[in-house]
Chain A
């Protein structure tokens, strides 16, 4: 017995494609501007075995991973520090509140002047964007630690550091991972945006620009579809990781950053 939800989902997607296809064929949309749904699907399938496009995908994933790793290495320690030192946190909070809303893409023109290579430009901007979800969720996780657990350890004569290592960090870990998951989606969007805005040697964004300059709308849309699929895959993987690693932890919602 197949889950009716799955059936409906498949029908929904198929229906949307069929409507788009019919609109194109009936002449409601100019197929020279907006290609047929079937064309886009065929192009997207073709891209999966297109060596040039796969190189662009791996370039995007490269800067994405680099930026995400640097962001985690920066934001987790800072988050732990701020989360366990409330006075420092109170002092730094106005700065965070001011820096967080700055659109990371607005940094691209500035960083492009300062940084030596365009890979560094992209990684810098990704790090900036990906830091916030990790930082905010790490701080939140440390605040959320059960005071009874902390007091229990203190009562047994453990010091601050021991409490941090044995209670605070393990119980904050699920929040950190949620922050990483949110950061991963943000980082992917920023990576592609940076490629679109700053250009460079390769990447999905660069591929889309090239396709655009040749008026190949079908390839542009097909590449955007792949960007979406990669985003879904990354998110699904991290959701799975959260489920496997932190089965015991109910509150997986996290703090949207």
Chain B
């Protein structure tokens, strides 16, 4: 069986060249020089002078490990009008990502070795960042029969994460079997926690705003009930559960409890759930329609606290591009989802760093190290100690934390424009991204 480690490290490093990054601040620490060669970080220290290297004068730019997104919708195959692997990974590189996990709800669904290999190859050919396909848990995302999880794990794509994202694996027995089955290849089931009967035709968070707007409600309990059930199942069978896009204060409490039991449960939160609230729906503008829905300020506060204390392990974008005809409609007809790859780091800085909840090392953990570990990336060390040090793979991002920029939907690299941040002035700009020693972004532009 092909190990996922073989997959990534066998990638070509041609053109990586030798780079001398002068005066970068790893995790915000004092400036040092970093030398990249042959796809690896070969030297880190003050005042280096490597021979024959391309010089990048970083002049105090922040250096973080290349960001890892466990939750991206690249839409290819099937909805290339909304996004392609190439356009989505360009957006990812510009956002500072070196790996994205591509969700399985494509057309056809990524529920066979053939489809996951196709997506993986498209990512490799585009070359902007690594694409790790997520396999569907059930055939066609229908929630009835398990897909061939083992075949996807053994494929060239080396799938380790499985999800029916967009749909909940609501059948408790099927969920239990999936959790058990993937133990054979150290897989993880990423659950979209949404009790389907409680959320039929649900349009927004159920609460004061939905009552006013007459939009049918998506109760927090519909997420929390599934998380509690799945945590119990994961604990019972000793399997790995990952909870997608946690959105409520109650979910954070349940996760805290599950972790206190020592169960192997991890969780992600999206940038938008760390910042936006359901009162934005008052405009009826479907750019704010997303699943799970935007919640209340109390939830936002609990999510931030949960991410800060590690109850929630990481940030994942749930980048969900949609064509204009799927968003420029009445609220109920619009598809849920927001693009997020190019704004994720800025929103995280705004919600977590500027508020003092995380320092740069903490942010790096939540956006690079922890997601790499959960996704089973071969370069991930359990505690992140290898990151940004000699001997580590040269996946890194240089950020100007003082720079501010205004979001212009038309200027995004994503093929879709459905950002909820249009016109917002945000902190933090990605200046350069290196994928195995090769720049994918320089001066804030795709190389």
Judge: A and B partners, yes or no. Answer: no
